[in-house]
Amino acid sequence: MDFIEECKTLSIENTINFLKEFPELAAKGAETKEQQINNILNFYSKKPQPNDQTTTPDYLVSRILELVFKNKESERELMQKQYNNQKQTEMMIGQLLEWYLLKEGKNFGWIFTAECVRAVDFLKMENDRWIRYQIKNSDNTENSSAKDIRTGTPIIHWFRRFSNPTTITPKLTKKGTINKNGWKKFQKELDKRQKTLDLTPFKTPLFNWDNFPDEKLRERVSEEGFENFVISYFQNGCSFS
């Protein structure tokens, strides 16, 4: 059995079991066992790949690009195609991130839910309790509805990349501790610096793999590993072989 078939079987079995225990967490369109199986089978039957453009671009966007950003009118069709290609590529990267974690996380108990569980992408059973994960490609790709659903729940949120890397200059408070403003996404770094009151500027990272929420799986996943996985996928003609 290849990894796709094995993951598919595990997804069906565990997602159904989870929603038997927590039926109120079923996503819309995944309330029944039949719907859950169909969602999962549909996910595993489709692989990320480029599609022909089916929508007509808004001509006004091109006009504004030409007026404001000095794009050449003679290159309008090329620019539209490049924009469409970029949007598709960004979407495929997000999809392939799920496949990468599915492949690497299979032996660590990670199960993909295929949009059967509200605001949850992966499940893991550990110490007789379910751990729920929401995975995003970037820190700015979570929509407000998903965030509202996740807030106040045990769902663990993780994203791959920081959309706006910057430099944080630590400052001391009147109490002699480092001011927490700007450190929300870098709590571990702040905790380390609080012990020594290290005030050297901190250049925030481009990627977030060091904060991957599963400590054991964290040793297996990385940006280099993900990049190699993606490149290999496309070099093999959109195949995981």
Average confidence (pLDDT) over 32-41? 97
Tokens 């790709």, located at residue: 141
Q: Which of 226, 228, 102, 84 is nearest to 161 (CA)?
A: 226
Average confidence (pLDDT) over 91-95? 96
pLDDT at 53: 80
pLDDT at 185: 86
The sign of the torsion formed by the CA atoms of 224, 10, 129, 30 equals: positive
Question: Per residue in 149-176, pLDDT tens?
Answer: 666 689 999 999 999 999 999 999 999 9
pLDDT at 3: 85
Parse the chain into domains and list their residue ranges: 3-163+206-235, 166-204
Is the pLDDT reported for residue 61 higher than 70?
yes
pLDDT at 166: 92
Question: Per residue in 131-155, pLDDT tens?
Answer: 999 999 999 876 655 665 666 689 9
Tokens 């929300």, located at residue: 184
Question: Per residue in 187-238, pLDDT tens?
Answer: 989 999 999 999 999 999 999 999 999 999 999 999 999 999 999 999 999 9
Tell me if 141 sits within 8 A of 159, measured CB to CB. yes
Is the pLDDT reported for residue 47 higher than 70?
yes
Query: Which tokens sit at 202?
Result: 């901190």
In this structure, what is the dihedral angle of CA atoms 155, 159, 163, 166, given to the nearest 10 degrees?
A: 90
State how far the alpha carbon of 92 is from the alpha carbons of 139, 230, 234, in Å: 17, 9, 11
Average confidence (pLDDT) over 77-94? 93
pLDDT at 24: 96
3-state secondary structure of 111: strand
Burial of 58 (0-12, 13-18, 19+ CB in 10 A): exposed
Is the pLDDT reported for residue 72 higher than 90?
yes
Distance CA 140, CA 136 (A): 9
3-state secondary structure of 234: helix
With cut-offs at 50, 70 and 90, classify the pLDDT of residue 96.
very high
Question: Per residue in 108-121, pLDDT tens?
Answer: 999 999 999 999 99
